[in-house]
Amino acid sequence: MSLKQEIQKRKTFAIISHPDAGKTTLTEKLLLFGGAIQTAGAVKNNKIRKTAASDFMEIERQRGISVATSVMGFEYQDLLINLLDTPGHKDFAEDTYRTLTAVDSVILVVDSVKGVEEQTERLMEVCRMRDTPVIIFVNKMDLEGRDPFELLDELEEKLDIKVRPLSWPISGGHTFKGVYNLFEKGLNLFSANKTKIERDVVKVEALDAVELDEMIGTEYADQLREDVDLIEGVYDVLDKEAYLAGKIAPVFFGSAVNNFGVQEMLDTFVRLAPTPLPRLTNLRSIAPNEERFTGFVFKIHANIDPKHRDRIAFLRICSGTFERNKFFYHTRLDKKLKFANPATFMARSKNVIDTAYPGDVVGLYDTGNFKIGDTLTEGEDLQFQGIPSFSPEIFKELINKDPMKSKQLEKGIQQLTDEGVAQLFIREAGSRKIVGTVGELQFEVIQYRLEHEYGAKCEFQPKNYYKACWITSDHAQKLDEFKRIKATDIVTDKDGNDVFLAPSKFLLDMERQNFPELEFHFTSEFKTAVDSAG
């Protein structure tokens, strides 16, 4: 098969949502349709909750939440679907932001009871920054939720995107009858508690057909006719180009836990969603059909298998063909590496592969060569853009509780921060380590993993900082002067870049006025001059 054919076969997307909207459940149902799993693993009651297929860290199984991105591949309708299931919890949003750099489209899950929540808005902001194509799945229609028209208005208003329903719910809550597929003119009648695939779609030639009244009752049939008339009158016909440009989002309704309304969305997704897209580097845009291989690391995970202490870098392939045991150029380290056992994943299970193509995500066993954002090529010296670290919101000093395990603690915190779980800053005086995160839960995860994976015990001491600012200047003298005056608040990140830990917004604003020769950057990707104070 040619490179062009391999590219046309692939769709790479992420599922994103606010916590508890049903994202991991939807992921499992998509895997069910793809034949990747045989029965669903999510159970509502957490006391008897089976482990979800996509939750592979021990702490995830204990807490019943997803805190790390899982990478999964499955086949559907002769296509290879690469699915990245992201953490829902807001404390792990940065992992999700980075994952969004590695996909070509997104499915956003919205809870029909709660509507658009804060985390949903944040995630959509990142999608809008990149004009990522989005499909929306309104979940939990079998629960007493919001009016669907009201939800559509809220989606447009809060997410700043036009919407177009492609399926429509027939009632909701305890009277939920099913969904009508506006795209295919088919009716899917609801039955609860599906764990395996059932196909209940009924073709409806015309909405005024008597059979519709017989199937769902005259009251619901009349309401459906009225709703569809309103939809066709108010909403434009779906423009595929507008969807691909991130300007309009198709909307589907269903109940993921009951495996309902999912297939309509999946079938439309495989028709509409983009194949692998070009990616921007510091030199030029890389097209997927270029013959020479390129790719970038967007995620690193240590100890996927605790017995083997393995560390895996997840590589998104952007162009050309990746080959096992072939030397590739690591642009940051300026050296060549080859990989004997590159793997693709189905959550915890993995398969060694010989070749992979644009859109694929490959796991590379790593001995410490990779950091998030690293680029591999066939020789060209370039760097993929758009994978920054954002300024953390919470800062704490790492305190070693067992001096006999100092080496283990040092190795553990280096590896965990390489993964992007948190950011590590070093204060020169005494080499004190300050850890910055987006949320409190990350400290709990770090503490748990340091103890259980590295045998190192620690505690965290809160530090009152407002923001981390990467500082640069063309005036070396002024930079040195600032660093001398603010020595107690100057640290370096893991790459040795100077960082100012601002104690407050007021003091930050004052220093920016006092030192106009300095640039204060609020993401680590300051070389691109993409900078906003947030």
> How many CB atoms within 10 Å of residue 494?
15
Residue 48 has pLDDT above 50, yes or no: no
Residue spans of the domains in the chain: they are 8-272, 279-377, 394-528
- Give buried/exposed letters for 7-30 (b at 16+ CB in 10 A, else e): bebbbbbbbbbbbbbbbbbbbbbb
Residue 532 has pLDDT above 70, yes or no: no
Residue 117 has pLDDT above 50, yes or no: yes
For 445-474, what is the mean pLDDT?
Answer: 93
Residue 218 has pLDDT above 80, yes or no: yes
If one compares 207 and 150, the residue with the highest pLDDT of the two is: 150
Of 322-326, 335-339, 413-417, the poorest mean pLDDT is in: 413-417
d(CA 512, CA 374): 31
For 187-215, what is the mean pLDDT?
Answer: 69
- Structure tokens of 520? 């204060």
What pLDDT is recorded for position 322?
97
Asked if 279-377 and 394-528 have one fold, the answer is no
Confidence at 44, pLDDT banded by 50, 70, 90: very low
For 162-168, what is the mean pLDDT?
Answer: 95
For 230-245, what is the mean pLDDT?
Answer: 93
What pLDDT is recorded for position 192?
62
What pLDDT is recorded for position 43?
31
Instruction: For the chain, give the percent of residues with pLDDT over 70.
Output: 84
Residue 51 has pLDDT above 50, yes or no: no
d(CA 105, CA 96): 13
Identify residue 328 by its one-letter amino acid code. F
Confidence at 37, pLDDT banded by 50, 70, 90: low
Residue 491 has pLDDT above 80, yes or no: yes
Confidence at 178, pLDDT banded by 50, 70, 90: confident
The DSSP code for 494 is: T
For 25-50, what is the mean pLDDT?
Answer: 61
What pLDDT is recorded for position 139?
96
If one compares 419 and 305, the residue with the highest pLDDT of the two is: 419
For 453-478, what is the mean pLDDT?
Answer: 94
What pLDDT is recorded for position 327?
97
Give the gyration radius of the chain's Cα atoms. Answer: 25
d(CA 515, CA 475): 10
Q: Which residues, including other chains, have CB under 8 Å from residue 337's CB and lie 6 or more apart?
A: 327, 328, 330, 369, 376
For 249-253, what is the mean pLDDT?
Answer: 96
Confidence at 307, pLDDT banded by 50, 70, 90: low
What pLDDT is recorded for position 68?
45
What pLDDT is recorded for position 149?
96
Helix (H, G, I), strand (E, B) or coil at 360: coil
For 67-72, what is the mean pLDDT?
Answer: 61
C-alpha dist (Å) from residue 279 to 107, 111, 272, 359, 379: 20, 32, 20, 11, 17
CATH says 394-528 is which class?
alpha beta
Q: Which H or E element spans position 258?
A: none
What pLDDT is recorded for position 89?
54
Confidence at 528, pLDDT banded by 50, 70, 90: very low
What pLDDT is recorded for position 530?
34
For 18-42, what is the mean pLDDT?
Answer: 76
What pLDDT is recorded for position 529?
36
Q: Which residues, including other chains, have CB under 8 Å from residue 320's CB and lie 6 or more apart?
A: 3, 290, 291, 292, 293, 294, 358, 378
Q: Name the residue among 173, 164, 118 with its Cα closest to residue 140.
A: 173
What pLDDT is recorded for position 489?
94
What pLDDT is recorded for position 481?
96
Residue 534 has pLDDT above 50, yes or no: no
Q: Is the dihedral of CA 419, 420, 426, 431 positive or negative?
A: negative
Residue 50 has pLDDT above 50, yes or no: no
Cβ 120 vs Cβ 154: under 8 Å: no
What pLDDT is recorded for position 348?
53
Q: Which H or E element spans position 473?
A: strand 467-473
Residue 28 has pLDDT above 60, yes or no: yes
| One-letter-per-residue 3-state SS of 168-182 | EEECCHHHCCEEEEC
What pLDDT is recorded for position 302?
66
Of 191-195, 369-373, 405-409, 501-505, the poorest mean pLDDT is in: 191-195
Residue 469 has pLDDT above 50, yes or no: yes
What pLDDT is recorded for position 88?
54
CATH says 279-377 is which class?
alpha beta
Q: Identify the CATH assignment for 8-272 out of 1.20.1440.230, 3.40.50.300, 3.30.420.10, 3.30.1600.10.
A: 3.40.50.300
What pLDDT is recorded for position 90?
59
What pLDDT is recorded for position 358?
97
Residue 219 has pLDDT above 90, yes or no: yes
Q: Which residues, including other chains, have CB under 8 Å from residue 214's CB and lie 6 or more apart?
A: none
Residue 373 has pLDDT above 90, yes or no: no
